[in-house]
Amino acid sequence: MPTPAIRTIVQQMPKAELHIHIEGSLEPELIFELAQRNGVALAYPSVEALRAAYAFSDLQSFLDIYYAGASVLLQEQDFYDMTAAYLARAHADQVRHAEIFFDPQTHTARGVPFETVINGIWRACQDAPISATLIMCFLRHLSEDEAIVTLDQAMPHLDKIIGVGLDSSERGHPPEKFARVFERCRTLGLHLVAHAGEEGPPAYIETALDVLNVERIDHGVRCLEDPALVARLAREQIALTVCPLSNVKLRVFDDMSAHNLITLLDAGLAATVNSDDPAYFGGYMNANFLAVCDALPLTAAHARQLARNSFTAAFIDPQARQRHLDEVDHYFSTL
Ligand code: ADE
Ligand code: ZN
């Protein structure tokens, strides 16, 4: 049998998703449905008008519309429905395991109880066709004291959270602003990740590692500006959760052909491919892989490395990791 085309390979291979903001999976159709269900007024007259507004100039221009979209989430069932819809899409893209970010402060600031948010998202993960775990993100444009309040609210729910992350507006909000809350999370035994080097400088990647003690870097694509940092990331095999469609939509790269994913892989970095905010950036996991295939010289060896990296970097137990890696190796051995 002839070897399948790279586009088929990336779609069919087993994979993990490690960088997905669940609020960023809220499709315009569901935003309108929930707005109607909850009696929330929207600034856009139709699904089409809302989708047409998804033209971003940078991270902040996206975040403004992303937080507005999340305003329709009020009841536990809303969080359940959003999460269940994402998990069904991920399953269809041969995602075997997802580590899902959620932003409690976006909701508690509107008066939605922390319990409502986490219980809805958690219940959908329990009912999912794939394995799914939760990473609670602190909003970095807010203060560290507000992050500490959020951690206090999460304390009765630590059995539902595998780790914490740091997201929202990166520039001007360096990782070290959150040193104390991350240290407390570390002593609680939580896994630690942070967005760094998306729009912010390579120095933010270094302080995320050295001050926050994170285990993975979300995005991290600006690391290539610092050769010593690249050497360190390769040596320590720090995973980078790269989000290609996001990077093009938010103008981190002019177009996909300018994306540095292949350079990262060829430098020996533990890069992975992820969807970030799929409802806003043009697609879920396989759409990201296909966009990369169509613009960059991605080989089957790269694809296998990306699939392996996703499970190697996942916060899963050693037996599950080995089972997933064996499935990846078996898939590629049959090509
Ligand atoms: N929140 C949702 N998506 C994000 C991104 N790409 N960067 C920072 N914060 C985010
Ligand atoms: Zn992100």
Q: What is the residue extent of each domain of the chain?
A: 4-333
Q: Which of the following CATH numbers is that of domain 4-333: 3.20.20.140, 3.30.70.330, 3.40.50.300, 3.30.830.10? A: 3.20.20.140
Given the residues 23, 76, 198, 199, the one annotated as active site: 198
Q: Which of 13, 16, 15, 6 is nearest to 333 (CA)?
A: 13
Task: Determine the pLDDT at residue 1.
Answer: 66
DSSP state of 143: -
Pick from 145, 138, 26: nearest CA to 86: 26
183 is catalytic: no
The DSSP call for residue 276 is: B
Give the Å distance between the CA of 264 and the centre of ligand 1: 21
Q: Which helix (H) or strand (E) holds 154?
A: helix 144-154
**Nearest-CA residue for atom 1 of ligand 1:** 168
Q: Which helix (H) or strand (E) holds 164?
A: strand 163-167
How far apart CA 254 and CA 162 sit, in angstroms, is 35
Closest ligand 1 atom to residue 198 Cα is 7
> Tokens 């221009």 correspond to what residue?
61
User: Of 18, 22, 59, which is best to mutate to test ligand 1, by the most ligand atoms within 8 angstroms of its C-beta?
Assistant: 59
- Smallest-distance ligand from the CA of 139: 1
DSSP 236: T
- Please tell me if the CB atom of residue 17 comes closer than 6 angstroms to any atom of ligand 1: no
pLDDT tens by residue, the chain, 335 residues: 667 899 999 999 999 999 999 999 999 999 999 999 999 999 999 999 999 999 999 999 999 999 999 999 999 999 999 999 999 999 999 999 999 999 999 999 999 999 999 999 999 999 999 999 999 999 999 999 999 999 999 999 999 999 999 999 999 999 999 999 999 999 999 999 999 999 999 999 999 999 999 999 999 999 999 999 999 999 999 999 999 999 999 999 999 999 999 999 999 999 999 999 999 999 999 999 999 999 999 999 999 999 999 999 999 999 999 999 999 999 999 99
Per DSSP, the three-state class of 125 is: helix
Q: Are 190 and 161 in contact (CB under 8 A)?
A: yes
Please report, as a single letter, which amino acid is at residue 319: Q
3-state SS assignment for residue 1: coil
Q: How far apart are CA 112 and CA 331, in angstroms?
A: 44
0.85 cut: is pTM over it?
yes
Nearest ligand to the C-alpha of residue 216? 2
pLDDT for position 277: 98
Helix, strand or coil, per DSSP, at residue 77: helix
- Residue holding tokens 């302080």? 207
Ligand 1 lined by 198 (C-beta under 6 Å): yes
CA distance 190 to 287: 31
How far is it, in rounded angstroms, from Cα 117 to Cα 124? 11
Phi, psi of 165 (to 5 degrees): -135, 180
DSSP state of 256: G
What is the C-alpha to C-alpha distance for residues 105 and 114, in angstroms, rounded to an integer? 8
For residues 319 and 227, give the distance between their C-alpha atoms in angstroms, rounded to a whole number. 35
Distance 330 CA to ligand 1 centre (A): 34
194 lines ligand 1 (CB under 6 A): no
Q: Which residue has the tokens 């080989």?
A: 299
Report the pLDDT value the prediction gives residue 130, as an integer from 0 to 100: 98
